[in-house]
Amino acid sequence: MLSKEEKILKNMCLMDDTFMTVALDGNTEAVSILVSTVLQRKVTIISAITQKTVLNTRGKKIIMGVFAVDEKKNVYVIEVENNPTRAKVPRMQYYSDMVSNIIVQSGTTYSQIPNRTVICFTRGDGAKTGQSLSRSVTKWKNTDQGVIPYGEIIYVNVKENQGNDPISVLCRDLVQKDYRKIVNPVLRESCRRTKKGDRKEIMCDKIRQLQAETRKEERARAAQREKKLKMEIEKANKLAEEQKKETDKAKREAETAALKAEQERNDYLRGMMEAHIPIESISSILHMSVDAVKKQASLLGCVL
């Protein structure tokens, strides 16, 4: 019976960031396949590490999916993004720029700065070009051959994978959950090792870590929601209390005004009675019936 980690692992592929991290870490052969296929020329990767963390001078951190170097010291950053909206060009350009923090050493001349290429595999049109493969080239070096590119950002839409060309085949391999159906033997073996072989336990540990982090984040979000709800309840209670105070104040003011009006009417009535003004006239002035005037005068102790 499969464990919960194995069930999750069974449904993962190279387009899952965590799975790619384990499958491609140190795997220069597999990374060479990815880069060569995308660039459509042979590239030999001599170093490949995953989850490389880079800080800029202000402390902003980025984590590169795969950081690789070829035999000519050219640098490659490979990212996978299942949400194309997170793969915007400015972000990929920033990744490219941050490579300088790693590869440019003291004493390096500008002409010695290696080329850098950012390859972003997305489940959708991350470049917004309507093409399965999109390139953004930064031209920089002046040579005998003219101005040549020093940097590229390449988007590969893995959803556009219906053809038989190398890019389409690679895209199908990247989204394939069953490693046995992966066409490229190097990528197939890399996925087999991660799902069934020597890297399986590493992958299961990663899944457990992710689950723990997810639970921690969920607890934090739940605590935040509870805090927000508590604040809203307190705010509502405070508002209700203030409204009650306003209502009570208005009620008291209305009662005071009524008492004052009644007192003024009684004083007016008493004055008119003492002045021997006819009851009928008093009734008309105060808009009261004659009987009501007599009754009120009696309560006030006036002599009728």
Residue 163 has pLDDT above 70, yes or no: yes
Which comes out higher in pLDDT, residue 62 or 131? 62
In whole angstroms, what is the distance from residue 279 CA to residue 129 CA?
96
Band of pLDDT at residue 149, cut at 50, 70 and 90: low
Close Cβ partners of 203 (under 8 Å, ≥ 6 residues apart): 9, 12, 18, 19, 22, 194, 195
Buried b (16+ CB within 10 A) or exposed e, 106-130: eeeeeeebbbbbbbbbbbbbbbeee
68-125 pLDDT, tens digit per residue, is 999 988 899 999 998 888 888 778 887 877 877 777 665 666 666 778 889 999 988 8
In whole angstroms, what is the distance from residue 182 CA to residue 188 CA?
5
Close Cβ partners of 13 (under 8 Å, ≥ 6 residues apart): 19, 174, 175, 176, 177, 191
CA separation, residue 132 to residues 15, 116, 118, 141, 285 (Å): 16, 21, 16, 28, 94
Which comes out higher in pLDDT, residue 1 or 11? 11
Please tell me the pTM assigned to this model: 0.70
Residue 233 has pLDDT above 90, yes or no: yes
Residue 134 has pLDDT above 80, yes or no: no
Average pLDDT over residues 169-175: 94
Question: What pLDDT is attached to residue 96?
Answer: 79
State residue 140 phi and psi, 5-degree precision: -150, -50
Average pLDDT over residues 162-182: 93
Mean pLDDT of the chain: 85
The residue count of the chain comes to: 304
Least confident of 23-27, 126-130, 145-149, 154-158: 145-149
Q: How many CB atoms lie within 10 A of CB 234?
A: 10
CB 168, CB 160: distance < 8 Å: yes
Q: Are strands 45-55 and 61-70 parallel, antiparallel or unpaired?
A: antiparallel
Question: What pLDDT is attached to residue 108?
Answer: 62
Q: What is the CA radius of gyration of the chain?
A: 40
Average pLDDT over residues 213-240: 91
- Residue among 192, 125, 195, 211 at smallest CA distance from 160: 125
Band of pLDDT at residue 28, cut at 50, 70 and 90: very high
- Residue among 52, 106, 57 at smallest CA distance from 79: 52
Least confident of 109-123, 142-156, 194-208: 142-156
Least confident of 132-146, 200-214, 243-257, 261-275: 132-146
